[in-house]
Structure 1
Amino acid sequence: MKNLIIALITLSIFACKPESKVDYAIISGKIENSKAKTATLKNADFKAEIAINEDGTFADTLRIPENGFYTMSIGREFTPIHIGFEDSLYVTLDAMKFDQTITYTGQGALKNNYLASKTLHNGKITSNAAEFYSLEENAFKTKISKIKTANETLLNGLTNADEAFISAEKQNLIYDKYLMTNNYSQRHGYYTKKEDFKVSEGFIPSELKDMIFDDAKAYKSSSSYKDIAFDKALIGIFDSLGDDISSVTPKDLKDVSDIKIPALKNDIIDYLSSFLVSPGNENMEAVYNFFSENSSSEDTKKKLTETFEKNKNLVKGKPSPQFVNYENHKGGDLSLADLKGKYVYVDVWATWCGPCIAEIPSLKEVEKQFHNENIEFVSTSIDQAKDRDKWVSMVKDKDLGGSQLMADNNWSSQFVKDYAIQGIPRFILIDPNGNIVSADAPRPSDPKLLELLEKELKIQP
């Protein structure tokens, strides 16, 4: 009897033991014609990098936080992908014909082959953006309705597909249509050269016009919902900021605090911090603290801190970083120290930079206006050494004035690094004592530059 009781207890223990929850998916495959070393899989709150072997094969077990939509990136190409617990996907593609060749087999292949077909179908129709968005309103509405109908037909043709995926994707198709509708006004005006174009009353459906962006799940599931939400949030924020971003305060950024979706808030902070956590903003530290407090992403906070640390020594009044012995187009070389006693307006540019070249006529006018004042205009090219002759020729052909210098190591020049320059043109104003007036000064085409120079040089307008 005792043995029977023990046996029954043992049996009940094994019978009642809960099954271990599967919280992973397996993804593997082979990529042709790619030099990429990693494939990246991510959504709003998950990111994983998968190593790609020399022969293009890869395999990994991913502990995903939830069944759902992700983005898979390989090099510059990316594609939507849906991964669920217990999925075991095998992916093949040719990187030279990414969307045309991507194919899935294995558990979870059905839904992902649909997503690949949808992406290819949409891409073909919208590849000529000028033609697509130049359509008149009625023709455009007909076109995007056909796109949605064709994708619905594909979706409805799936057999034995996950019901949660089908339900979410049906809503995503609505968001896809909304995104194209949302983009129409601005893009139609651009491509048809109708600067003041406005869509007619009723073109934007009330569901889109009145949409409140508070659905964190949709933000992860639909790239279209994500794009619309991001666009709407930025429009509201920029309406509050106005045109002058040189003195933005946390109070001006109240709309950021009001964003309901944490991932959207992080994305907005990522974007705004690139130019508001800047020495060009006199309230940089306060804005940095505000963004840090409002971010829920450790990656975003890390980037914020890195940006702030780079820029905190570039505020007004700090000693300027130096450039030393830069080649002078007039002969010899020149260092910033040689110009002590003068204001120095530095233009960081390159011969391949269209926006830089567009500033040249305005720069010439400013130089002419302040020709007799205590200021030196210095243009520093960050062209590569192999393009030196191109630089020499452009300076001569365009009759560029001021001091024309060439940086010693293009983007890796110490001066460029010290000023945390990541994009050009960039303009810097330094005072006669070698201290920073503005590490992100107005462009020559901006009337604010004249105001700044007149103020610093004590010139009566």
Structure 2
Amino acid sequence: MKRLLIICIAVTMYTCKEEPKIDYALFSGKVENPADKVITVYDGREKVKEMALRKDGTFADTLTIESGYYRLSHDKESSSIYLSPGDNINVTLNFEEFDESLTYSGNGAGNSNYLARKYLVEEKANFDVAKIFALEENEFISKLDERKASKMKLLKEAKDVTKDFRALEEKNIEYDYLSNLQNYQSYHSYFSKKEDFMPSDNFMNLIETVDYNNEEDYDKLNSYKRLTQSYYSNKISNSDNPSEIFRTLNTKAFPDLKKDLANSLIYNISPNNMYNEAYYNGLMNMSSDEKYKEKLKAKYDKVMKLAKGMLSPKFVKYENHKGGTTSLEDLRGKYVYIDVWATWCGPCIREIPSLKEVEILFHDKNIAFVSTSIDKAEKHKEWVEMVEEKELGGIQLIADKDWNSQFVQDYAIEGIPRFILIDPDGNIVDADAPRPSDPKLIEMFKELKI
């Protein structure tokens, strides 16, 4: 009897042993007409795994993952997918018709098939941002409601999606809706040419009632992450007392939100930001990363040297398209309006017609118009050809070390186009001057009696 009891206990202990936890998914497939030798799965910007394609375009591997949204990428094409531990998914695609050909099969495939179809439907719907955001408030909300209902219908009709995934997608649809509401003020102001536009109080209340402290949704949903970051960024930039908003954030925000906001808001420290000190102190308190703090201090110190009236940083012996070299010192005695651009920069090229008009308007005045390309050395030929093809006027220069040129670094230039105005004595008038297409530039020139 005693021996039988021991055997029973041993059997019970063996049968109750915890099953090993599955933390991976099986992922395989075939790429027709491949453009690369690998296919890659990303989690945000982080590479989960790069899988080699066999000669026949097939691949197979295991992915150690948690349940969530990922990105499947081949060459320059990519698509959203959803993976969970225990999935066994096979994907087929033709690179020449990437989005249209994506098909998933196997355990857990339904979620990704829905995402592939969702993308095609949204692409076909062609949400015209300029047209929609130019609508008046009631019409705008009506259009958004229609779009939201259409998305919910697509989700409801989706087959083989899991319960948890469906709940996440419902949230995604809601957060996308709220993001458009959030953007309405600035977008409508721009597209309808109403600089001082403000939505009604009821409209703004829809945004203010959102819970912006949901750490779980922030971790799982990029739509909520974008919504939350945008909300706090706007709140800080629109405030007359940004220090107060920073204090609230530092007290109440969860760590990942603070980290992401710190990394994005560092770009708001700029020559024309009157609240640079508030940003600097707020971001310093927000981060515990010493390398980030060093970067922040370096940028802040640099921007503080770009205030109006400070001696301008100089460029020395930049190659001139017409031959020889030109330095800033060669232009002393004149105002100097500098356009920092590149041949690959679409917004830069869109400013060219306006810049030509301004140059014509002030061609006999005491001002030099300088366009400084920061194209890389291997793009030198493209720079030469574009200057000739577009018949660019003024003084056409190319920087010595593209983004790493000392002048570019000293002016804290992190995005282009960037425009700079320097006075005849070589002092800064505006380190981030209005663009040629902005009427404020002509007003500034007239105030300075150029």
Contact 1:285 1:308 in 2 (8 A): no
For 1:90, the equivalent position in structure 2 comes to: 90
TM-score by length of 1: 0.69
**1:154 maps to 2:157:** yes
Deviations 1:405-438 (A, max 9, x none): 333465565654665544223245679998x858
For 1:390, the equivalent position in structure 2 comes to: 386
Q: Name the CA distance, whole Å, in 1 between partners of 2:89 and 2:328.
A: 59
Task: Structure 2 unaligned segments of length 5 or more: list them.
Answer: none
Q: Name the CA distance, whole Å, in 1 between partners of 2:186 and 2:410.
A: 38
- Of residues 296, 320, 323, the one that matches 1:328 is 320
Q: Do the aligned partners of residues 460 and 381 (structure 1) sit closer, same or farther apart at CA in structure 2, a change above 3 Å counting?
A: closer
Q: Name the CA distance, whole Å, in 2 between partners of 1:208 and 1:114.
A: 29
Matched position secondary structure for 2:212: coil
How far residue 124 of structure 1 moved from its aligned partner, in angstroms, is 1.9
**1:274 maps to 2:267:** yes
Give the counterpart letter for 2:264 in structure 1: Y
Q: Do the aligned partners of residues 252 and 130 (structure 1) sit closer, same or farther apart at CA in structure 2, a change above 3 Å counting?
A: closer
Percent identity reads: 35
Q: Name the CA distance, whole Å, in 1 between partners of 2:204 and 2:330.
A: 63
Deviations 1:180-229 (A, max 9, x none): 56667776787788888888997x69766622222222334444444433
Give the counterpart letter for 1:63 in structure 2: T
For 1:140, the equivalent position in structure 2 comes to: 143
For 1:163, the equivalent position in structure 2 comes to: 163
How far residue 312 of structure 1 moved from its aligned partner, in angstroms, is 4.8
> Which deviates more from structure 2 when the two are superposed, residues 304-313 or residues 169-178?
304-313
For 1:291, the equivalent position in structure 2 comes to: 283
How far residue 38 of structure 1 moved from its aligned partner, in angstroms, is 5.9
Matched position secondary structure for 2:52: coil
For 2:79, the equivalent position in structure 1 comes to: 79
Matched position secondary structure for 1:48: strand
The 5-angstrom pairing of residues 336-347 of structure 1 reads: 336=328, 346-347=338-339
Contact 2:39 2:53 in 1 (8 A): no
Task: Structure 1 unaligned segments of length 5 or more: list them.
Answer: 243-248
Matched position secondary structure for 1:240: coil
Coordinate RMSD, CA, aligned:
5.1
Q: Do the aligned partners of residues 344 and 184 (structure 1) sit closer, same or farther apart at CA in structure 2, a change above 3 Å counting?
A: closer
How far residue 167 of structure 1 moved from its aligned partner, in angstroms, is 3.3
**1:213 maps to 2:212:** yes
Q: Name the CA distance, whole Å, in 1 between partners of 2:435 and 2:193.
A: 27
How far residue 267 of structure 1 moved from its aligned partner, in angstroms, is 3.7
Give the counterpart letter for 1:217 in structure 2: E
Deviations 1:358-417 (A, max 9, x none): 34545676786655xxxx7643234542131432565xx5652xx443334655656546
Matched position secondary structure for 1:405: strand
Q: Do the aligned partners of residues 72 and 439 (structure 1) sit closer, same or farther apart at CA in structure 2, a change above 3 Å counting?
A: farther
Give the counterpart letter for 1:390 in structure 2: M
For 1:42, the equivalent position in structure 2 comes to: 43
For 2:305, the equivalent position in structure 1 comes to: 316
For 1:405, the equivalent position in structure 2 comes to: 397
Q: Do the aligned partners of residues 190 and 315 (structure 1) sit closer, same or farther apart at CA in structure 2, a change above 3 Å counting?
A: closer
Give the counterpart letter for 1:39 in structure 2: T
Q: Do the aligned partners of residues 60 and 272 (structure 1) sit closer, same or farther apart at CA in structure 2, a change above 3 Å counting?
A: farther
Q: Do the aligned partners of residues 350 and 200 (structure 1) sit closer, same or farther apart at CA in structure 2, a change above 3 Å counting?
A: same
Q: How many residue pairs align between the two structures?
A: 431
Contact 1:28 1:89 in 2 (8 A): yes
Q: Do the aligned partners of residues 433 and 57 (structure 1) sit closer, same or farther apart at CA in structure 2, a change above 3 Å counting?
A: farther
Deviations 1:113-169 (A, max 9, x none): 2232233223322355567778855863673254134224324x43xx543333333
Matched position secondary structure for 1:347: strand
Deviations 1:283-336 (A, max 9, x none): 86874563254248x7xx866755755775565189976644323355422235
Give the counterpart letter for 1:269 in structure 2: A
Q: Name the CA distance, whole Å, in 2 between partners of 1:179 and 1:441.
A: 29
Contact 1:176 1:224 in 2 (8 A): yes
For 1:246, the equivalent position in structure 2 comes to: none
Q: Name the CA distance, whole Å, in 2 between partners of 1:205 and 1:342.
A: 48
Contact 1:93 1:102 in 2 (8 A): yes
Q: Name the CA distance, whole Å, in 1 between partners of 2:264 and 2:239.
A: 16
For 2:109, the equivalent position in structure 1 comes to: 109
Q: Name the CA distance, whole Å, in 2 between partners of 1:134 and 1:315.
A: 38
Contact 1:39 1:73 in 2 (8 A): yes
For 1:442, the equivalent position in structure 2 comes to: 433
Contact 2:338 2:369 in 1 (8 A): yes
Contact 2:89 2:106 in 1 (8 A): yes
Q: Name the CA distance, whole Å, in 1 between partners of 2:338 and 2:183.
A: 38
Deviations 1:75-106 (A, max 9, x none): 55443332222223233333443332222223
For 1:379, the equivalent position in structure 2 comes to: 371
TM-score by length of 2: 0.70
The 5-angstrom pairing of residues 5-24 of structure 1 reads: 11=11, 14-24=14-24
Q: Do the aligned partners of residues 312 and 201 (structure 1) sit closer, same or farther apart at CA in structure 2, a change above 3 Å counting?
A: closer
